[in-house]
Structures are given as C-alpha cells and as structure tokens.
Amino acid sequence: MKKEKNYSKYFRLLQFRKFMRSFQRFFSKFNLPEYTTFSVFAIVIGVVVGISAVIFHHSIEFMNELFFEKTVEDFFFLGAATVILLPAFGMLIQSFLIKLAPEISKKRGVPEVIKAVALRGGFISFRTTLFHFFAPVISIGTGNTLGPEGPAAQLGGGVASKISNIFGMTDTKRRMFTAAGSGAAISAIFNTPLGGIFFALEIILLNDFHAPTFSALILASVTASAISRIFIGDTSVFIFEYPIVGSVGEFYLFIILGIIAGIISILFIKYSNLLNKLVKKLLAKSIPQWLLMISAGLLVGISGYFFDDIFGIGYSGINRILSDYHSANVVLVLFVLKFLLVPIVINSGGFGGIFAPSLFMGASLGYFFTYFSNTFFGLNLDYTTFTLVGMGAVLGGINSIPISAILIIFEMTQDYSFILPLMLAVVITTTLVQLVLKGSIHIRQLEQEGFNISSGRETNIMKSMSVEEAMFNEIMTIPENTPLPKLISMFLDNNTSTCYTVDTRGKLTGIITENELRPIISEYENLKHIMVAKDLSNPNIITVAPTMDLDAVMSLFSKENRDEFPVVSDSDPEKLIGVISRQDVIDAYNKESFKMNLADGLSQELKSISLHKKSTVSDGFSIIEKQAPENFVGKTLAQLRLRNQYGLEVLMIKKKASDLFGEEVKTEIKIPDANYKIDDGDLLVIFGSDEKLKLLE
C-alpha cells in the first residue's frame, strides 16, 4: 500500500515536470532578449513576494485579533490568566508542529536562506516555506515577543526559489533570485526598497556582489514595496515627529550612543549563544522541549500582563516610545524584558525574527540615553532623533548590517540632515561588534551548526578540496624566444587568453595575457621582426601548489586581479603542471556541495543501508556501506584520495557507540570532511558508479 502511494506521488511529480517542460518550451518560443527575460522574472518575483508578504502581515494581524480580542472576550471569566496563558498556548502549538516535522522545523529564518544560497544553489523546498509561514504566524500572533522580518525573508526566498524552479532556472540564477526574494520581502515589510536591496547583499549574499544580482535585487525590491504600499499603505510603520539633529558640536553624543549600542549588541549576542548551549544541555538531559517552550511562553505572558508592549512584534510599543508616552523607568524595564525574553523564546524553540526586537531595544536605548543626558547633564537633546539613531545602531550591530540599517531608518525619515549622525552611530556600533565577535548573530548560528560561510560560499567545503582536484592540466606554454608573429598565431589557434613562457630547461619564466598583446597590435609591422615572447611576458607570477586548499585560492583571487593561477610542482617551484581559474574553483565547489545535498536528501535511506548491501540511486550509480579496511585505519580521507584514485565519494561515516559493558547502544552518523581520520570499526557509506564500486571491492 505504501509503495503504491509513493508510486502515485512520484507519478504526479513526473507529470508536473513534463507540464513545466512544455511550459518552458512555449515560453522560449517568444525568443526575448536575455536581459528582458531577466527583468520580467525579477518583477514577477517582486509581485509574488510582495503579495506573500502582505498575506503574511495580515495573517499575523488576524491571529493577534483572534487571540487577544476574541479569545479574551470569550474567556473573560479567567481574567488576567487569559493574557498570561496565550503565549504559552502558542508555544504549545509550535511544539506540536516541531514534533510533526522535526527536520523542517530546524530550517528556520535568515540562516536557512544563507545556507540555501551558499550550498544549494538557492533551492528551498516549498514544504519548508509553508511550514515557516504558519509557525511564525502562530508564534507572533499569540503574543510571543519576536519579529516577522526573519520569517518574511525566508518566505520571500522560498517563494522566489519555487518560481525559479517552475521556470527551470539554472543554479546561478536561482541563487540570485532567492536572494532577491528575501530582500523584496524586507522591502515590503518596512516599505523601504533600498533597505531590502542591501539586506540581501549584506546578509544573504554576504557582500558577494555582482552586477546582474544587483539588477534583480532592485527590480524585485521596488516591485514588492509597490505591492505593499497598495495593500498595506504608503505610510511608515513608525510614527514620529520631525527629528531635530542639532549642531555639529553635539555629534560626539552620537559616537557615545554608538559605543553603548555596540556593547549592548555584543552582550545580546553572547547572552543568546550562552542560552543556546544551556538549552541544548537541558534537552540532552531529556527535559521535553514542549515544557521548555511553555515555560518561555509563560514568562512572556507574565511580563506582558504588567507591560503589554512586550507582546508581539512591538511596533506599537516603539511608537509609544517615539511619542514620549512612557516614563523613563517604564522604558528601561521594557528594554530589560525585551533583552532577556527574546533569546529565551528563540532558543526554546519559538519561531520569529530578531529585527523588530533589535529596533525595540534600540528605541528604548536611544530614549533612555536622551533622558539621562537631559536630566543629569542639563542638555536639551531631541528624543525623536536619538531614539531613531538608537534603533538604527542596535539593528545594525546585532545583525551586522550597517548599510541596511542606515537605509531602513533613513528611508523612514527622508531627512538628509539626519543621515550623518545615523551613519556615525551605526558604523561605530557595527565596527565594535565585528572587532569583538567577527560576525553577525546569523553567521555565529551557522558556525554552531558546523557551517563556515564566507562571501556566499561554505568555506569548510573549499578547505576540504585541493588545487590538484580542480586544476586543468592542458596548458599553453611557449619558449621565451618565440617570435611575435608565431606568438599571435598560437594565441589565435589555441583560442586562449593566457599562455606561459618557459626557458630552454622547461622552467616557468613568465605569463602573457591578451592585455599585454593588445597595445602592440597598432605597431605590429614595426615590431614583428624584433620582438619575442620574453619581451612581452610578465615575470611577476603568482603560483599555487597542488596541495593548496581551494578556500586559500579563492581568497587569492579576491586579492589579485587575475583570471587564473599557474600550478607548480611541490618538489620544483619552477615546473608548471597545470592552471586553475576562478570558474574551476566554483565548479569544484558546486560539485562537492551537490554531494552534500545528496547525502542530506537521502539521509533516511543512507541510515537504513545494511552492510555490504547496495542501494541503487539511479541507472549506473549506487550507494554501498563498507567496513573500513585495515589499511584505511589511522589515515584521513585526504590521504586516502578515494575521489582521485577511484572516483568515489564518502557521503557519511557510521560509528557504533557502546556502553560501559561493551554493548552496542546506538549508531552515530558523521558527515566527514577531508581531515576526518578513519577509526577501526568505521562503516563508510560510499557513492559512485557501479563500475567504480566493483573496482573498490
């Protein structure tokens, strides 16, 4: 019965794919210019993401009204207990959702979008997108003190990823549009298109900038913002009086505020990390997650009973602070409660983001800083100005998004005189955070999961691969005394843009690119009989070794303005054995990340493979589990070079864990890197062609 159900499911999937291929062929008949097609898709994604963000916004409002108005009215006889219990009830529902879909529930928020863009070519499953639409709506709608922006960014990225899949986009374009979708969602939520654009660049793409990507971000973000303004309104979510900046002589106060905001941001991130470790230890000791979540919800409910601005997103609370509604003592209490409760709710398992809480804490900090300065130092500072600057500083500091934070607050005020103090505070805050923590809260979260992502790519993958695995062996070398006519002829015949000169002993002496050839074309007739290759070659060559890891090579490409690097022998630094280009590195990375995705997608099947049994993945390719041979024990995967020698991939390692009496209690699963050392008793789960697997046997 189960097999028939699975067959029916896959049959429908195949039918859908056939339909989409037919649709793609129909669309391609229009033969539109590539840039036109690109622009149309970016606008379509902006429209769909904008509508999705509007639905998300209204869903939270509906849930909030349902629970905090309808439910409180219906259960009036419970009195204050109703309000206290609502966040706990929401956490209980979320714990059920986690129980129903434990793997999907882990793929939450902005870090998941970063992973998708860096590791999976921008792919986010639609099931994940739907789950993380409903879970935050329930969480925030029942009063938990989190924000909608992180989930909205994940929603926008997921929707864009799905559209890219439907239209058969390549991994490169899907990666681009997924990032654009996330930025468009932020643009729609805040009504700040520039803020959305730079959010995607700074957070999702980790400043990995390319011109086509920027075009997609602009078109998608502006379109999503326009959709949001049609359905939600053209006004800012925050209401405030016109800010009064003051004289330049008072700008030192913004520097002080920036330093304080930086310290607050660092403490918040460290406190959140500490709680994360504590919760993991508690869960490891078999304390049920639902109990932790309900306890966190009760803390929010009790706090909200006394200070109702703690409930939900907190935008209304920020507006009260901006309007000077609360006393300084209340603002200080609200700040402390927000600071303490947000990490408790998130780390216990609640769904939501930290953008809105960052703005709330920043508003409280800016207000209290103004009150303290005016009361104790006799200054006459403008509450609105310092409150807004505080919002931008803490937002930028906690999330490490200086440009986005500046633009989001600036687009709300539309006041150019306000931009300088805002930039001053935000840059100081983010610089301080980077000096101390060297990364945003999102990057640190990924590091805790074992990912080390930089410039939009997972560096652990790059570090596990050597130049030898990605380099190109067919290279164009010429004697350094080659005459100019022959040199040009060789360039044209070999269809290359780079060649290397060698001396009579075959030693590398220089490099010639088209850039060196172009200036002499106009004087070719005068130079063709007197100039040789050595006269044109550049002796300043940057070489790489075959054992060098690809992460180091990618860093070298970032520093040096080169298209490729020559690879020289380890034993003889003057002997050329190959070349490696930036595209070679990216292709090798994509292949390796595909292997990781394969392991992730087949995790259940991989766990169930029994020793010496083969599982067919597709025609001609299978997965087997093999006991590590004796000659493998004590060696790393890099030393074994299974990929080079056999063309096989080790997807995972199974380790048998035993208790004190030597009895097997469980099987641990490890996804190894190149430095993993094989232990006696390890079971290797290996993927490759059937032919190669037989060769290994």
Domain ranges in the chain are 1-31, 32-231, 248-286+308-453, 461-586, 602-696
Three-state DSSP state, 665: strand
Distances (CA, A) of 648 to 89, 319, 637, 683: 50, 60, 11, 15
**DSSP states of 494-547 as a string?**
HT-SEEEEE-TT--EEEEEEHHHHGGGGGGHHHHTTT-BHHHH-B-----B-TT
Domain 32-231 has CATH 1.10.357.10: no
Q: Where do the DSSP E strands lie in 163-283?
A: none
619-662 pLDDT, tens per residue? 667 777 788 888 888 888 777 777 767 777 777 787 765 443 44
Domain pair 32-231 / 248-286+308-453, same fold: yes
| Cα–Cα distances in angstroms (integers) from residue 145 to residues 108, 299, 653, in the given order | 17, 11, 41
CATH of the structural domain 248-286+308-453, one choice from 1.10.3080.10, 1.10.357.10, 3.40.50.1370, 3.40.50.2300: 1.10.3080.10
- Say if residue 93 is exposed, middle or buried (CB neighbours under 10 Å; 0-12, 13-18, 19+): middle
- Give the span between the Cα atoms of 116 and 155, in whole angstroms: 13
Q: How far apart are CA 66 and CA 444, in angstroms?
A: 36
Looking up tokens 């639609």 gives: 126
Give the span between the Cα atoms of 383 and 42, in whole angstroms: 40
| CATH class of the structural domain 602-696 | alpha beta
* Residues, the chain: 697
Predicted confidence (pLDDT) per residue in 539-575, tens digit: 888 888 888 888 788 878 777 777 788 888 888 777 8
How far lies 523's CA from each of 181, 378, 492, 520, 607, in Å? 52, 76, 18, 5, 68
Tell the burial category of 376 from Cβ atoms under 10 Å away from its Cβ (0-12, 13-18, 19+).
exposed
The H-or-E segment that residue 19 falls in is: helix 2-28
Contact between residue 280 and residue 349 where contact means Cβ atoms under 8 Å apart: no
Say how many CA atoms lie within 13 Å of 327 toward its Cβ: 3
201 DSSP 8-state letter? I
Residues in contact with 100: Cβ distance below 8 Å, sequence separation at least 6, in sequence order: none
CB 54 within 8 Å of CB 188: yes
The confidence score (pLDDT) of residue 659 equals 42
Place of tokens 């640190």: 444
Q: Which residues of the chain have pLDDT under 70?
A: 1-34, 69-81, 206-212, 284, 439, 447-461, 464, 495, 593-620, 644, 656-669, 671, 673-675, 697
Tracing tokens 């803490």 back to the chain, one arrives at 394
Domain spanning 461-586: CATH superfamily: CBS-domain (3.10.580.10)
Strand partners for 578: 567
Whole-angstrom CA distances from 413 to 192, 327, 385 are 11, 24, 10
For position 594, what pLDDT does the model report?
Answer: 66
Q: Which two tokens stand for residue 480?
A: 């350094």
Rounded distance, CA 438 to CA 441, Å? 10
